[in-house]
Structure 1
Amino acid sequence: MGDQKSDPNVVPGTLELHSPKKPKRNAFAFGCAVLASTMACILGYDVGVMSGAVIFIQKDLNLNDVQVEIMMGIINLYALIGAIAAGRTSDYLGRRYTIVIAAIILFIGALLMGLAPNYAVLMLGRAFAGVAIGFAITAPVFIAEIAPASSRGFLASLPEVIVNFGILLGYVSNFAFQKLPEHLNWRVMLGLGAIPSVLIGIGILFMPESPRWLVMQGRLGEARRVLIRVSDSEAEAESRLSDIKEAAGIQDHYNDDVVQVTKKSHGEGVWKELILHPTPSVRRVLIAAVGIHFVQQSSGVDTVVLYSPRIFKTAGITGNSALLGASVAVGFVKTGMILVATFLLDRVGRRPLLLGSLGGMVGCLAVLATSLTIIDHHHGETKLWWAIGVAVVMALGFVGCFSIGLGPIAWVYSSEIFPLRLRAQGVSIGLSVNRVTSGVIGMTFLSLTKAITVGGAFFLFCGIAFLGWVFCYTWLPETQRRTLEEMDELFGESDWRSTAKRMRERDEESVKKRAVEHMNIVAGSS
């Protein structure tokens, strides 16, 4: 007893009521999350580069506004097809190979767009790119399933960080290649996305498979070895494995590497459990996932990402260089704020960031809409530079508020709340709603602005964002530091606030118990 070391997180002689010191992030889990997230960089690049490339595509191929709207928004509807296919594919082949398939499809799409001789081939390339975006939903699922609860928010938000970095690279590519001949510049911009997809696809083959998927296949030995590598200790790995086996309905087989499972999770019957006959907790989870994805896109953020040059032109900025430079500023703000969000998700929690983000978006959209309306009604010869400045600042503020909360949290939240068996296809439903909503807005924005003006469109988005704040406040509980296996309990009762309070009290009792046990050890050793 005398040589036992005291716990450095508890001061001897005192009763420590706070949580133990947060462990360092697992380096291997971080590396896997970064590698899985790299696919998002190419997807983000495609979104960002199209916002500027469309200026030159429209001139080179002589497209009208309706064709431009369809070209910009149709990728999201193709993503719906990819998302539906990806849920079942990742249950059947595993998370890792599904991400590789996404890389292959994206390579084909980028190549077709870069070499497109006409509008039809360009649209075919957009179809491949859209399906790849749908398949890429597997990345946040994989990350959520390997990440320890203590850093799941940080790791699961990495795809959103890297997609924003990709958007920024797309904007920079627009700015860098704009001086090339008009028939060549947009093809170079779009075709560059093909190069890294091959390297990423090969790199992903060196990642381990999701331990939760391995358990569902009865491959317990492989799952244990992966969990040991991505957990902070072997004891934590065994605890996680036990929780996963319990959630999967597998009896304890501690010494068995492979066991026969009565229901191998290849996605059989999942749609029935999700849609036709959901339990109350599954229904609440599904509404939460669908709702947060709808709010994310219906608030209009993609209009700023896809049509930023047009919006800034409406505000009074002229010249391709100035318009593309302002778009680069949008990319820098989005990327910078998403980086801030990754470090706050596991410290501040999901709800405070989400509600603060939506509140900021409502305010910025209201001021942006007002300033654009003032500019639209100004008929003097001189420009209203103050209104132009306000519009630009509010557009940047809007994407900044989005990126510090709603942007990453929608993906983190939906990837962590579904039960194990329903997770892949549940997340695919959330992404389907996300992409359909984004597609509808992307394909109607120009027509909407002609009908109710640009300012009117942003007033509409402001109202939707406010309703989104109300939904998130009333329906979404805090999931910070909860294991994936605890989500069913959190969503299992109609009064989630009481459940969350009870879970916090249970955690505090556990901390007190550990502190008392430590004090007894210290007293005995002295």
Structure 2
Amino acid sequence: MNVMAKAEKKISSAFIYFFGSFGGILFGYDIGVMTGALPFLQADWHLENAASLVGWITSAVMFGAIFGGALAGQLSDKFGRRKMILMSAIVFMVFSVLSGVSPDMGEASAYYLIIVRMLLGLAVGAASALVPAYMSEMAPAKARGRLSGLNQTMIVSGMLLSYVVDFLLKDLPGEWAWRLMLGLAAVPALILFLGVLRLPESPRFLLRKGDEAQARKVLSYIRKNPAEIDQELASIKETAKEERQANQKTSWSTLCSGKYRYLVIAGVGVAAFQQFQGANAIFYYIPLIVQKATGQAASSNLMWPIVQGVILVVGSLVYMWIADKFNRRTLLMVGGAVMGLSFILPAVINWMMPNMNPMTIVVFLCIYVAFYSFTWAPLTWVLVGEIFPLAIRGRASGLASSFNWIGSWLVGLIFPIMTASMPQEAVFAIFGIICILGVIFVKTCVPETRGHTLEEIEEQGTNHGRVKASNPEN
């Protein structure tokens, strides 16, 4: 026991925050890896004309994630954040390897891979729920905004990593390339597992289980001032008491009550719009999009995912710089407007100039990704974390997450079906219209949360969105 205590004391706060957020790498890697694997998989299994199967293989992870996030949230309250992150890493490793060794059995192979990727999605969904929860419970209040940005940076870094791996493996024989791309996802999962083995449990969970001594010890690793530790322990106790009381007084029907309906619609609506705006259509299918636009083989277009991965990483860093300098609504509306135009303009230009350069659509997609990366991508979860009052926070956040995953799954599923039945520019124009509808939604239905206390935000909900005219800094 003394040896364990000495080992724990050597853990730096930087180590805790790095591996605490490293689950985002897994999340991002699996979002991105299919982008490069899919062209080789299609050729190997002769799925070029099987749009629905391609959609299911791609979106199966997101379908599993719908349930993984909800399941992990409940289990982590019983077993702890750390243990569930470890379990997620194991599940991720196992089903990544099983994806890479998919048997070649004709059409049955596709159904095997769909099922395996659904089970893999349980780990992806769990990571998406557990990592922010663990980080928020470990980070000091003054650093939560930046560490929220760190989680987003980890996710997009995982996507970029998968794009680079796909590019490096593209010259292998087709039947080996996609298998290694999918199977190598086990490597970051193994790194996460080994790193989390040394992480402590969150002090909030420890206090809920009555282990105040251990909670104090964990806080001593990441807080320097003993008075700060005492104050935070008291605050955690008070918050836990309030949450227990709130959970006893609320139910799912409470979300529809007049007092909370406005805020629930706002938070859940933003989470849903983030996915239905079509970002994942680009992330999953960019090589196929370029192939359809230019006629070049998708397997030779794997530099484009790297370009968009770099844009995403840079955008996440830009967000961390501007996060507290502009209102949430302003960034969402500006970002949504540019994203919508980036989707709509290629269709308009193609209608007016039928012989336009086919790469025009790809350039506009890069503009879309750039604005998405520092507006809707990170701000959706910042706003969801701020907008729900304590009494409904657990249920409302879970509902928002579910709608987000449902949107991600549906976009991944139907995009290849849509592009098989209509021009690519028309498909993106539809997503562009959804982006503009998202801007209107933010303008009319979402209150400003930057600089407002939870009580002020709740008052806005009670008054059906009558936003105060006060300066958000006040």
The 3 A distance-change label for structure 1 pair 280 and 210 is farther
Shift of 1:317: 5.5
**Aligned partner of residue 346 in structure 1, secondary structure:** coil
Distance 1:149 1:411, change over 3 A: same
Q: Tell me the CA shift for residue 28 of structure 1.
A: 5.6
SS of the residue 2:301 aligns to: helix
In structure 1, distance between residues paired with 2:87 and 2:343: 38
Contact 2:68 2:122 in 1 (8 A): yes
Whether the 8 Å contact between 1:40 and 1:163 is mirrored in structure 2 is yes
Measured after TM superposition, the shift of residue 480 of structure 1 is: 4.1
SS at the partner of 2:324? Answer: helix
**Shift in Å, 1:150:** 2.6
Structure 2 letter corresponding to 1:163: I
Matched residue, 2:175: 183
Q: Which residue of 2 aligns with 1:72?
A: 58
The answer on 1:138 being equivalent to 2:116 is no
SS in 1 for 2:470: helix
Shift of 1:327: 2.3
Question: Equivalent residue for 2:6?
Answer: none
Three-state SS of the structure 1 residue aligned to 2:302 is helix
Deviations 1:206-254 (A, max 9, x none): 223333333434444444444454457444444444433333327xxxx
**Matched residues, number:** 453
The 1:347–1:79 alpha-carbon spacing in structure 2 relative to 1, beyond 3 Å, is: same
Task: Look up the match of 2:83.
Answer: 97
2:322 and 2:420 map into 1 onto residues whose CA distance is 40
The residue aligned with 1:286 is 264
Is 2:446 the counterpart of 1:455? no
Change (3 A) 1:401 1:467: same
Write the distance in 2 (CA, Å) between the matches of 1:418 and 1:74. 30
Q: Distance in 1 between matches of 2:325 and 2:13?
A: 19
Matches for 1:221-240 after TM superposition, within 5 Å:
221-227=213-219, 229-231=221-223, 233-240=225-232
Q: Matched residues in 2 for 1:217 and 1:452: separation? A: 56
Q: CA deviation at 1:328?
A: 1.8
The equivalent of 2:237 in structure 1 is 245
CA distance 1:67–1:321, shift in 2 (3 Å): closer
Change (3 A) 1:73 1:203: same
Name 1:369's counterpart in structure 2: 347
2:5 aligned residue: none
The one-letter code sitting in structure 1 at the alignment partner of 2:17 is A
- Partner in structure 2 of residue 7 of structure 1: none
Letter of the aligned partner of 1:290 in structure 2?
V
Between 203-212 and 394-403, report the one with greater CA deviation.
203-212
- Within 5 Å, which residues of 2 pair with 1:468-479? 468-479=438-449
Answering whether residue 256 of structure 2 is matched by residue 276 of structure 1, we say no
Q: How does 1:31-42 map to 2 (within 5 A)?
A: 31-42=15-26
Counterpart residue number, 2:374 = 404
Q: What amino acid sits opposite 1:343 in the alignment?
A: W
- Over the residues paired in the alignment, what is the CA RMSD in angstroms? 3.0
- Is contact 2:96-2:186 (8 Å) kept? yes
Once residues 218 and 474 of structure 1 are traced to their aligned partners in structure 2, the CA distance between those partners, rounded to angstroms, is 45
Contact 2:36 2:299 in 1 (8 A): no
Task: Indicate which of 352, 359, 371 corresponds to 2:330.
Answer: 352
Match of 2:406 in 1: 436
Amino acid of the structure 1 residue aligned with 2:72: A
CA distance in 2, matches of 1:180, 1:90: 41
Deviation readout 1:132-168 (Å, 9 max, x if unpaired):
1111111112222333333222211222211111111
The CA deviation at 1:299 is: 0.3
> 1:277/1:480 Cα in 2 relative to 1: closer, same or farther (>3 Å)?
closer
Deviates more, 1:308-317 or 1:293-302: 308-317
Contact 1:309 1:323 in 2 (8 A): yes
2:281/2:415 contact within 8 Å kept: yes
**1:31 deviation in Å?**
4.1
Letter in 1 for 2:157: F
Find 2:114's aligned residue among 123, 128, 141. 123
Letter in 1 for 2:314: G
Indicate conservation of the 8 Å contact 1:80/1:432, yes or no: yes
Q: What is the aligned-residue identity percentage?
A: 30
1:335 to 313, 319, 325: 313
In structure 1, runs of 5+ residues without a counterpart are 1-26, 251-261, 379-383, 506-526
Matched, 1:501 2:466: no
* Alpha carbons of structure 1 residues 357 and 499: separation in structure 2 relative to 1, 3 Å: same
Distance 1:321 1:70, change over 3 A: closer
Question: TM-score, normalising length from structure 1?
Answer: 0.78
Q: Which residue of 1 aligns with 2:141?
A: 149
**Equivalent-residue separation in structure 2 for 1:416 and 1:213 (angstroms):** 21
Contact kept, 8 Å, 1:35 with 1:204, in 2: the verdict is yes
Which segments of 5 or more consecutive residues in structure 2 lack a partner in the other structure? 1-10, 104-108
2:30 matched to 1:46?
A: yes
Aligned residue for 2:157?
165
**1:276-331 deviation digits (Å, cap 9, x = unpaired):** 23465654443333112101100000011111112112322514465211222111
Q: Which amino acid aligns with 1:337?
A: G
- The separation in 2 between residues aligned to 1:47 and 1:307, in whole angstroms, is 11
The answer to whether the 8 Å contact 2:92/2:189 transfers is yes
- Please state how far the C-alpha of 1:462 moved relative to its aligned partner: 1.2
